[in-house]
Structure 1
């Protein structure tokens, strides 16, 4: 695992426009401040309008714009579980600053109740449990990412870096007993990033970066219930500032795409590279080769969503979504797959075998 050393300055995000959901409190509020200190203009969206408006007043006084320019920080009440509310936030930012450079999905909540309470009975299990945690943490991230993938493309001159940063958690990859819905949602956030990192970054599509940050225990309201016991056990915690330092650096670092950055005790490590590098060891060499061949065949995933091609193309064994200019290379991959015991997706109903 490679340690990531954040590198930021007052010029790291100079004149960039950063949109942050969940920016009124905790880590999100710290990130707003640090982006401003790094030269950015910031649009904040949060359901907590009292804290959001207080933050706006504070930082508008502290960070003055150049003459004739809009305020350095603006706030709009936003419910990330409401698609139109998220869309309105992007409209607000775009109209105010004329472009958006980076988008951060930081809105999140912790577990509510106990989905798998041992006290459930045949009667009480009939009551539909709340799925608010899933809606805020995962659906909200999907809404933000979908809209961001469009707005980030506009008013961006040549060679201008644009990115999306999603907030997951250590629970996104490590067991978190009793956090049933929370952990599922945070796993989903990492899955969302992985599904998008090769898709939105392709030059013939959006050419955007997307990354995930995974803080461990951080000194926010979310851990108040266990904070004292945690510290008595002499276990490390992050401050919101330490997490926001890593997040700010990830926004400014144009070399990062498809990474998951774990933050523990103020230090950070990237985990995706080693998951891939060590795959043959934990999956098995032969299975790893077969998986790699399949991934090469699937390319950027357009096979799942593209409209069917003419029958002549399909009859030649080319599934919809496979770029025609890659036919030679695809056939090589298909041949390799057949060697490993995997047949062409056009003849084995590959669309029913999503991994």
Structure 2
């Protein structure tokens, strides 16, 4: 771990646990898959899973090897492979480790069926393409899927779909209508709600919901910060001021000289850049906290550094704490606000955290 450079990320497992409880309270009639794909959205798969070991209904992720790692760590929960299997080897692991698997094409069903015996019950989740058009069966391919499923000697089956517009004005009803049409007479369990549907569309919950970004204290909505839903940020990205410059009116800052000072200014240089996962697209004015006060970035983000305005923070200087996002020592900076300024979403900020950034786990009794 790099301990000399002052940048660090802090992860708050208690916040993950709190946010899971919020999701459960918002969908009280559903069980919840805790989505820990993409290394738990950059928060650490095992760290997130341990935070939820005592109360998660199940975990959902992508790679079979990561599911097997949970089993090796003693997790006996249902574990769902959200994209199903990718190979015969995965099919064998599903059977050997009693994993749940989404199936979105007939080839997946057939591979799993080939490795199943009457002594083993397969837990499959038939993916319905209700309009997002990424994965799943539609009216043309469903008959073949049902025919292949009938060949499996022992099967627990659920249906699932994914909403494309749960976070915007179009909502979920158009997909729910299509899902119900395709499901036909199905009366078994269904998994429907993503984070946005959990918070705003109770009609789109189903028997299982799949909280993702909200587990980590991020909002799925562009117009609403996470704390409005009672969510707690689970990551803080922090650094320190490593240099201070005095610049005159007309002087420029950073690559390309994108920021031009209109008056004499005092600026700070922060040990954080795009090689740490901070978005290069973040423009002048992106919020940042320094020494307990809010400020703004200046100019273009470079690989290892960025500049910020210290003109109104005379007490800030070399070594002063900086919060890039999250509830840091220098102040709270909502990740959604940073993401919005950079033209992206908090999901990307979390997932883009660089391996070179040291990560600390903050242990707080829940």
Q: TM-score, length-normalised on structure 1?
A: 0.28
Q: Which has the higher helix share?
A: 1
Q: TM-score, length-normalised on structure 2?
A: 0.27
Q: Choose between structure 1 and 2 for higher RCO, CA contacts under 8 A separated by at least 6 residues.
A: 2
Find the structure with the greater CA-based Rg: 2
